[in-house]
């Protein structure tokens, strides 16, 4: 399997590499402006500035690759936790229960999933918007896929009608969370 990295560490590395990449771009712009302000006589012997710009550009590329790799680790950590909660829920879900509890509350595992996503997504505010959007999309897409696959599992031999009421409550809880979760 892949390398396991705590979400908070991956998040901090993502933020740090983004800042370093932006710093390289600003430094390159500054060095370029210094070069432009040189007189023609000063420009010819100053090859060091061009070399410095090339090094800064390479450093920026390194930070961008590191950020991309760390984003992959962050995605993997979030997906692993979602799968863990969904696996537990699938194992506990009764498709042919002797009785279905009445009420309007979603399944415990769905409530756990929503709580996990709320706390996790709230820590992503320092990430670039495109990363937050991708994380949200990937998480909700994975959940939808898992929920769709649950009743199709070969382990499900029969489904009682009242189970659909429970599934409806689960879907409503997730839908409400998804609609309330805006990427700032």
**Contact (Cβ atoms closer than 8 angstroms) between residue 96 and residue 159:** yes
User: Can you give the pTM of this predicted structure?
Assistant: 0.76
User: Minimal CA–CA distance to 98: which of 163, 48, 50?
Assistant: 163
Given this model, what pLDDT does residue 32 score?
77
Given this model, what pLDDT does residue 119 score?
92
Structure tokens at 25: 């771009």
pLDDT in tens, the chain (184 residues): 456 778 888 888 888 888 888 888 888 888 778 777 777 666 665 566 777 778 888 888 888 888 888 888 889 989 999 999 999 988 777 766 666 566 678 889 999 999 999 999 998 888 888 889 999 999 999 999 998 888 888 877 887 777 888 889 999 999 999 999 877 6
Report the length, in residues, of the chain. 184
- CA angle 65/67/68 to nearest 5° reads 65
| Domain ranges across the chain | 7-180
| CB neighbourhood size of 153 (10 A) | 11
pLDDT tens column, 136-179 = 999 999 999 998 888 888 877 887 777 888 889 999 999 999 99
Q: Which CATH number describes the domain made up of 7-180?
A: 1.20.58.670
């Amino acid at each position: 399997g892949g390398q396991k990295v705590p979400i908070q560490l991956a998040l901090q590395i993502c933020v740090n590499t983004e800042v370093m990449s932006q710093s390289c771009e600003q430094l390159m712009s500054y060095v370029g402006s210094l070069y432009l302000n040189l007189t023609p006589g000063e420009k010819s012997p100053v090859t060091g500035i061009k070399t410095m710009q090339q090094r800064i550009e390479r450093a920026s590329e390194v930070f961008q690759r590191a950020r991309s790799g760390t984003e992959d680790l962050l995605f993997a950590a979030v997906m692993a936790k979602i799968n863990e909660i969904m696996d537990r829920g699938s194992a506990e879900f009764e498709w042919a229960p002797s009785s279905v509890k009445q009420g309007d509350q979603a399944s415990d595992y769905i409530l756990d999933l929503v709580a996990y996503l709320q706390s996790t997504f709230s820590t992503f505010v320092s990430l670039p918007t495109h990363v937050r959007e991708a994380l949200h999309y990937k998480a909700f897409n994975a959940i939808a896929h898992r929920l769709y696959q649950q009743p199709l599992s070969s382990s499900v031999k029969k489904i009682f009608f009242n189970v659909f009421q429970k599934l409806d409550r689960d879907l409503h809880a997730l839908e409400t969370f998804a609609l309330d979760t805006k990427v700032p």
